[in-house]
Every structure is written in C-alpha cells, then in structure tokens.
Amino acid sequence: MGKGEGKGEGKGEGVMMIAANKGDYLVCHSCIFCNTYIDTSPSTCGSGTTNVCCWANDYVCVGVDSGIPMACGTCGLYCFPKCGCCKTAGKLIPDKAEAFGQKENWLMCNSCCCGPLGYENDYFVPPATCCACEQKQCCICVCDAALPCSPDVPMMLTLLPMCVICSPAPTCKCCKTLRSIKPEGVAPEAGAPVAVELPEAAGSPSAADAVAVRPLKKWVPEHLRPREAAPVAEVLER
C-alpha cells in the first residue's frame, strides 16, 4: 500500500491502479483481503504504509522507495523539496507524482527526512477503507491487507503457494509477478513509454481501402531502347 495506485494507463483518467513498483512483486499467498509477496527488485531494507480512516503514515528504513515521498516539513508547512503549505504529495513533488499512486492526492502533514538512511510522512487522506497496511521486512518479504477491500490491495486467491486461481476472475498462473497476473491493473513505470492510439487523419486511406502501388518502370532514353522487329510484310516492301 505504501505503493498505492496510479491513474490512467489507457483506461481513462481517474482510474485507480496498483502502483508501478508493486508490479515486480512475486505473489506467494493470497486470501482476498491480504497478500504476501517476494520483492524481486528490492530498493529498501524495510518500508511500510498504514492507513486508518482519515489518517495515514508511511516510512522507509535504509534505501529509497519511489512510492513514498521524500520531504521535510511540519504542520502542513514544507521546506523540502520545495516550500509549500497544505500541499498534496502530487503537488509538492509533481515530477514523481505518478509513482506515488493514490498518495498523489493525500494531504501531507508532517515529514522527516534523513536521506537514504530513512524518512517518514504523515497524511490526511480521503476515507476509502477502515484500515489497510503494507509492510516490507528483510528487504524482500512484503505483505499487504485491507478491510474492507481496497483498490490499493489486489484481490486474489491462491490454492497452492505461488499458484493464483482467482484475480478476481478465474485464472491459473503460477510463480508470476503481480504485473503478469494483472497487466491492466498495474500502473506503468515512471518514464516508461506509453502506447498512444493516434486518431486517423481525415481522408487518409484505411487498411481496407489501401490501393496496391505499381512498381515504377525505369526510364530509358529512346535511342537506347531495344527496337521491335518489323513485320515480315513491311520488310518485303522495303
């Protein structure tokens, strides 16, 4: 959850998605409300997010998590990374807003930053669930949970370890990352190219109306062109 969700990704503006940095998580066990993962590309020794009604907190211990803002301020007044008052995470750090997921719209209250050694934030948040949390320990062990269900926590069910049978539609995928199981539900990586469908220009031929183009003939000067044999009758007259 410290990873939240993202917006858009070709599904329309405002659509909440699982944060991009959760896409590399290898799903180990799921039971609708809670999931456990192995982080295949860890960037921190420990991190976490807790959300209870209108209050939320997140932290990082040794490392940098792209889904958790790095800032410094108190009582809504911020001096790092820029000065601001009562700003959401997305407005305070706009160049990284996409990576914050749903935290982009969380109002930042208090933050303490010691660089890559550790940092922590408190937020006021729009109530979306009664309680939710995500914790990472020992670099690679991750778990998340939400009650009631939150779009921040993917709904899945495993029959055997690492074998997902519901996500929530029936499926059967084993030893797969979250992005492989829910490719349309995970936000794209920040800075990753996004496929954009360009509108067809007015009057341009479509594939169905395409006309075969004949190959161009090479132009040869007249005096170099091979002469056609004259008819026999014409030769006899000469």
Given a contact cutoff of 8 angstroms between Cβ atoms, the answer to whether 153 and 2 are in contact is no
What is the pLDDT, as a whole number, of residue 207?
Answer: 46
Given a contact cutoff of 8 angstroms between Cβ atoms, the answer to whether 181 and 37 are in contact is no
Residue 4 has pLDDT above 50, yes or no: no
* Arithmetic mean of pLDDT, 78-104: 90
Q: Please report where in the chains the tokens 């009057």 appear, as a residue.
A: 203
Residue 17 or 67, more confident: 67
Q: How far is Cα 85 from Cα 68, in angstroms, rounded to an integer?
A: 19
Given a contact cutoff of 8 angstroms between Cβ atoms, the answer to whether 132 and 150 are in contact is yes
Q: How far is Cα 89 from Cα 108, in angstroms, rounded to an integer?
A: 6
What is the pLDDT, as a whole number, of residue 208?
Answer: 47
Backbone torsions φ then ψ of 142, nearest 5 degrees: -130, 145
If one counts every other C-beta atom within 10 angstroms of the C-beta of residue 156, the result is 22
* Arithmetic mean of pLDDT, 208-215: 50
Q: How far is Cα 227 from Cα 213, in angstroms, rounded to an integer?
A: 29
As given in the structure block, the two tokens for residue 75 are 């009582």
* Arithmetic mean of pLDDT, 44-66: 93
**Which residues contact residue 219 at a Cβ distance below 8 angstroms, ignoring those fewer than 6 apart?**
none
Longest dimension (CA), the chain: 113
Backbone torsions φ then ψ of 60, nearest 5 degrees: -135, 135
Percent of the chain residues past pLDDT 90, beyond the cut: 48
